Amino acid sequence: MASATISPFPAVTDGNPSGWRPRVATGVLVLASGAVIEGFGVGAAGSAVGEVCFNTAMTGYQEILTDPSYAAQIITFTFPHIGIVGINGEDIEVVNAAAATAAVGAVFRADLSGPSNFRAHGALDAWLKARGVVGLAGVDTRALTTLIRKAGMPNAVIAHSPDGVFDLDALRAEAARWPGIDGMDLVPQVGATQRYGWDETSWTLGRGYGKRGETRFHVVAVDYGIKRNILRLLNDCGCAVTVVPATASAEEILALRPDGIFLSNGPGDPAETGRYAVPTIQALLETRIPLFGICLGHQLLGLAVGGRTIKMPQGHHGANHPVKDFTTDKVEIVSMNHGFAVDRDSLPPTVIETHVSLFDGSNCGVALTDRPAFSVQYHPEASPGPRDSHYLFRRFVGLMEAAGSRTPA
Ligand SMILES: NC(=O)CC[C@H](N)C(=O)O
């Protein structure tokens, strides 16, 4: 089989001032096309199959690596130096902190550096290893990113073998055999299986995370792969939160007497998850209880009102994506992580497009004209600004105020 090889860029070393190191590849990224990208294995030894995307964020690698929306994906960090602030026990997004139900692999330009930060509890390399995440360092991530920009996100196997021995043909066959995320419902891998409450608020320096005080509203959050910071921001805004599994029926949700319903982010193909999620969301919309969705939740709301979702070639992954908010006429720089989008041409007349990506013109937000419901494709809880992270959560609270609040049960 023909194979194109992208030569490994010599790894930048730390603790090895001469810059010399043996040129033995201990890690590879084997694309479904047969191409092999060599580098140095870090994190867990072994192999993992997934879709390769690139993330352009300059900070937040621990949150990125633990975001459940990255299930079945291998993340290429375009920022060259990753690991400098180490890892800690706090910056984790997946609710089950001990579980590694998020990205399966990670690709880095330089050797992992650090840790050097007052919050660090350890080093990224050992943390990746403990969580079973296969890493590959010393890769020309600019070349890989260019490849993804030209040809879309490829399926691949990432493999780490400390002795440098790989069965490349077997890895090529595995990458080519993998069916891809299009058509996959990945929510069962990451979502909650039981109902639970959440009362933690946002982190502040010196205090860490806080506990919610008085509440004005009760929000039921449907967990398709929810992130901790979303739950914290709901609590910051005075909401008592009950999280329910993605398979909870409308009756089960309504029995909890919610003032508002939240649809979370999550991995995989929205159309597949929509097979069971859409009928539930449609029934919830009928009640006119205020509803807010983020990311996969946005895509599912789009499907519930009769829209379509499409697979994007390279998607949006990073913390520097420009989005235009038509309700304010302002551009915001936001955090995003998605490989599917709501097809703006499929939106029915009862839906207003509130946000659009200035990167590729894809839909990034909707509001319904006949229901108190809205959603966005981005992650307001992780966006760098210029708006504060809470404003969409406050908009949700505003809908609950307008609907007339009840005291939480
Ligand atoms: N962050 C998300 O919720 C991602 C949504 C969906 N899985 C996508 O890739 O488009």
Q: What is the pLDDT of residue 384?
A: 67
- Determine if ligand 1 sits within 6 Å of the CB of residue 337: yes
Q: From the CA of 224, how far away is ligand 1's center (Å)?
A: 10
Angle at 303 between CA 290 and CA 263, to 5 degrees: 40
Q: Band the pLDDT of 385: cuts 50, 70, 90.
A: low
ipTM of predicted complex: 0.97
pTM: 0.93
93 catalytic, yes or no?
Answer: no
CA distance 402 to 68: 33
pLDDT tens per residue across span 171-191: 999 999 999 999 999 999 999
The residue whose C-alpha atom lies closest to atom 8 belonging to ligand 1 is: 338
Give me the chain's average pLDDT, please: 92
Distance 52 CA to ligand 1 centre (A): 14
- Give the pLDDT confidence of 55-91 residue by residue, as tens digits: 999 999 999 999 999 999 999 999 999 999 999 999 9
Q: What is the CATH number of domain 5-177?
A: 3.50.30.20
Considering the domain 187-403 in this protein, what is its CATH number?
3.40.50.880
- What are the boundaries of each domain within the chain? 5-177, 187-403
Of 6, 12, 9, the C-alpha closest to 37 is: 6
CA atoms in the 13 A half-sphere facing the CB of 250: 15
Q: At what angle do helices 391-403 and 228-236 cross, to 10 degrees?
A: 50
pLDDT in the model for residue 21: 54
Q: What are phi and psi for residue 87, nearest 5 degrees?
A: -130, 160
User: 1-10, pLDDT tens digit by residue?
Assistant: 444 455 444 4
Which tens digit of pLDDT belongs to each residue from 90-124? 999 999 888 888 999 999 999 998 899 999 999 99
- Concerning whether 379 is annotated as a catalytic residue, the answer is yes
Please check whether residue 151 is in contact with residue 236, taking contact to mean a CB–CB distance below 8 angstroms.
Answer: no
- Residue 381 bears catalytic tag: yes
> What are the phi and psi torsion angles at 92 (to 5°)?
-120, 135
What does the pLDDT look like over 217-259, one tens digit per residue?
A: 999 999 999 999 999 999 999 999 999 999 999 999 999 999 9
